[in-house]
Structure 1
Amino acid sequence: MSRYVLSGDASLLAKLYDNCARDLYHFLLTLSEPELAADIAQKSWLRVMEKRHMYHSNGQFKAWLFTLARNLLMDEYRRTKRYPLLEACEVRDQGSQNKVDGTLLKAFSQALETLPFYQREAFMLYQEGFGVQDIALITGENQETIKSRLRYAKQQLRQQLGECCE
């Protein structure tokens, strides 16, 4: 990203896109429906191009990208006055998996959907490989808040998956 900031070379942007686009879309998909996730992902990449001069090399590019995307998603929710805390994401099953894996995936997806939005957000960022400090930067919260959200999310998932998979 540092080289892209200086040069604006489209091939460098393409490499960044290839490395991060799927992860970004997956993260957004866990917090919204497919159409909105795709729209916000596209807007995020446009924002990367527009605001590349604002990137500081002391941070991880993926964290910066996810921060941009999260802010765009939250702005969209505020603009449309939709409250994701009350909405569930669509559950999709992978047809090629065997029945047991499909059942576990569906149970996990349903358990994930029951998490409050901010717990689900923190958990999904953690699953994307971000540490507590990065998640705090992405969400604009303090680290203790993130730790609590992760703890409650894991506890609720364990409880729900334990009940349905025993």
Structure 2
Amino acid sequence: MRQYVVTGDSKLLARLYDNCADDLYHYLVSHADKELANDVSQKTWLRVIDKRHLYRSNGQFRAWLFTLARNQLMDEFRRIQRQPLSEPVDVVAQAIKDPGDDLQKRFDKAITSLPFLQREAFVLHHEGFGLQDIAQITGEPTETIKSRIRYAKKQLKRLLEMDHD
């Protein structure tokens, strides 16, 4: 990214995109429908192009990218006055009991039931970000992020264990 900031070379941008686009999309689609996730992803990459001069080399590019994406996603939620994707816990609990669903589908349904802030912290942690990076991306204290991840894990465990009852 430091080289891209200086040169604006599209080949460097393509490498950044290849390295991060899938993870970024996964993060976005865990909070919004596929159409909105695609829109926000595209807008985020356009912002990388337009705002590359604002990148500070002392930070991790992925954290900066996800911060841009999160801000863009929140702007979109405000613009369309729509809540983040979420299903009621009882609906999800019933859905994950379906023996026809494989574990990944049941897990995805359970994640969808989490409150937005818990889901966000959990997904970012799952994407490989450390607590400090997640705190930077969300603008929250590290202890808050730890709590959100802990509550998310507890809720996921409860939902997935219900399958065995």
Shared topology, TM-score over 0.5?
yes
Q: Rate the CA distance shift 1:87–1:36 in 2: closer, same or farther, 3 A.
A: farther
TM-score, with length taken from structure 2: 0.89
Gap change, CA 1:86 and 1:17, over 3 Å in 2 = closer
1:105-144 matches, cutoff 5 A: 105-144=104-143
Q: Distance between the aligned counterparts of 2:18 and 2:100, measured in 1?
A: 28
What is the TM-score when the length of structure 1 is the normalising length? 0.89
What is the CA deviation profile of residues 14-45 of structure 1, one whole-angstrom value per residue up to 9, with x for unaligned ones?
Answer: 00000000110011000000000000000000
Q: Counterpart in 2 of 1:94?
A: none
Q: Secondary structure at the match of 2:112?
A: helix
Cα distance between partner residues in 2 of 1:8 and 1:102: 46
Which residue in the other structure is 1:29 paired with? 29
Given that residues 122 and 150 in structure 1 are in contact (C-alpha distance below 8 angstroms), is that contact kept between their aligned partners in structure 2?
Answer: yes
Give the match's secondary structure for 1:31.
coil
Task: Tell me the CA shift for residue 106 of structure 1.
Answer: 1.7
Contact preservation (8 Å) 2:31, 2:85: no
Which runs of structure 2 are paired with 1:147-166 in the superposition (5 Å)?
A: 147-165=146-164
Residue 58 (structure 1) aligns with: 58
Counterpart Cα distance in 2 of 1:130 and 1:154: 16
1:87 Cα shift? 5.2
Cα distance in 2 between the residues matched to 1:105 and 1:17 = 26
In percent, how many aligned pairs have the same letter? 61
- 1:32-51 correspondence to structure 2 within 5 Å: 32-51=32-51
- Listed one character per residue, the Cα deviations across residues 53-88 of structure 1 (whole Å, up to 9, x for unaligned) are 000000000010000000000001011111126558
Residue aligning to 2:72? 72
2:13 paired with 1:9: no
Residue 25 of structure 2 aligns to a residue in which SS? helix
Residues 107 and 86 of structure 1: is their aligned pair in 2 closer, same or farther, counting only changes over 3 Å? closer
Deviations 1:134-165 (A, max 9, x none): 00000011111101100000000011111114
In structure 2, C-alpha distance between the alignment counterparts of 1:162 and 1:26, rounded to whole Å? 25
Q: Could you say what the CA RMSD is over the residues aligned between the two structures, in angstroms? A: 1.6
- CA–CA distance in structure 2, aligned partners of residues 65 and 44 of structure 1: 7
Equivalenced residue count is 155
Give the 4+ runs in structure 1 shifted more than 6 A. Answer: none
Q: Which amino acid aligns with 1:21?
A: A
| Contact 1:107/1:164 (8 A) holds in 2 | no
- Name stretches of at least 5 consecutive residues in structure 1 with no aligned partner: 89-99
